[in-house]
Amino acid sequence: MKVSELDGRALDYWCARALVDDEEEVRFAEVEPGVVVTLAHGEFRKLNQRFMPTDEWRDAADILERIRDLQLQAQEGRAHCIARFGDRLGPSEAEGANVRVALSRAFVRARFGDTVDDRYPREPHAVHCGVVTPLAAGAVPPSPADDRAAAGDETGDIRSVPRL
């Protein structure tokens, strides 16, 4: 699907994926009716939180923090955005019904290019290195500590007795 046509939850979904690098995992506890994510990128963390940058400025601020250069034009129900994000070389340009949509589209375009897969999963799942892994509905997704424990790494294991 063309990034210029993304809207609503699909755009929110791709914005969440764009927040992390390929080597980092993003987990989607819910995609419909709203996007609920768990992710970490540097000092930025979200733990099972709704993420809807096309609807909420609070979430759009997570995108705004990554901007190095920004030009906006908004008039009569249309917005045009030209933005440079982080270390990406060239500017990314997009339009939308409002500033949040234009900004979100520019962010997704900067990360993934002009097109993205329009068949994103609607069920709970994780994405790591571009690979989608289903998560059991209602199950608690594994934590990075669980991943380390499975590999035999005892980092962070204080061996305390769990409380009941």
End-to-end CA distance of the chain: 48
User: What does DSSP assign to residue 100?
Assistant: H
pLDDT of 7 reads: 94
pTM of this prediction?
Answer: 0.80
pLDDT of 161 reads: 64
Contact of 104 with 53, CB cutoff 8 Å? yes
Domain positions in the chain: 3-136
Which of 45-49, 66-70, 134-138 has the least mean pLDDT? Answer: 134-138
**What pLDDT digit, counting tens, does each position of 143-159 carry?**
555 554 555 555 555 66
How confident is the model over 14-32, as a mean pLDDT? 90
What percent of the chain is predicted at pLDDT more than 90?
57
Q: Which residues pair with 125 in a beta bridge?
A: 28, 134
Q: Which residues pair with 82 in a beta bridge?
A: 71, 93
Q: Which residues pair with 49 in a beta bridge?
A: 37
- If phi > 0 it is left, if psi is from -120 to 50 it is alpha, else beta; for residue 156 that is left
C-alpha atoms less than 13 angstroms from C-alpha of 17 in its C-beta half-sphere? 26
pLDDT of 118 reads: 83
- Please list, in sequence order, all residues whose beta carbon lies within 8 angstroms of the beta carbon of residue 154, skipping any fewer than 6 positions away: 148
What is the helix (H) or strand (E) element at residue 61, kind and residue range? helix 57-64
CA 32 remoteness from chain centre: 15
Q: Rounded to an integer, what distance in angstroms lies between the CA atom of residue 94 and that of residue 96? A: 7
